[in-house]
């Protein structure tokens, strides 16, 4: 699925495309809809960088066994080795 966000929206909201993707990733992670790995991947940053941002915002990192397994499946699906 592709989502097209008009440049005018980004200008009106005074947010860059990268920052909007980060905000979406953070919200979905907070709501436990996606894992830490998926969120950082969506935000196009490594997990450590994403974790630092969460820490600055005082957002707890919930990362259990199931999240770990899901991240492994995501990595395998993307042929990461």
Q: What is the pLDDT of residue 76?
A: 86
What's the pTM value of the predicted model, to 2 decimals?
0.74
Q: Residue 78's closest CA among 52, 50, 39, 41?
A: 41
Q: What are the b/e assignments for 61-74, b being 16+ CB within 10 Å?
A: eeeeeebeebbeee
Q: What is the pLDDT of residue 72?
A: 83
Specify whether the CB–CB gap between 38 and 70 falls below 8 A.
Answer: yes
Band (73; pLDDT cuts 50, 70, 90):
confident
């Amino acid at each position: 699925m592709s989502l097209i966000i008009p440049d005018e929206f980004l200008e009106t909201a005074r947010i860059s495309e990268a920052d909007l993707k980060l905000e979406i990733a953070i919200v979905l992670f907070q709501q436990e809809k996606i894992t830490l790995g998926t969120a950082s991947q969506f935000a196009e940053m490594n997990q450590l960088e994403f974790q630092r941002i969460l820490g600055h915002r005082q957002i707890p990192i919930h990362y259990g066994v199931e999240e770990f397994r899901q991240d492994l499946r995501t990595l395998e699906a993307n042929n990461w080795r």
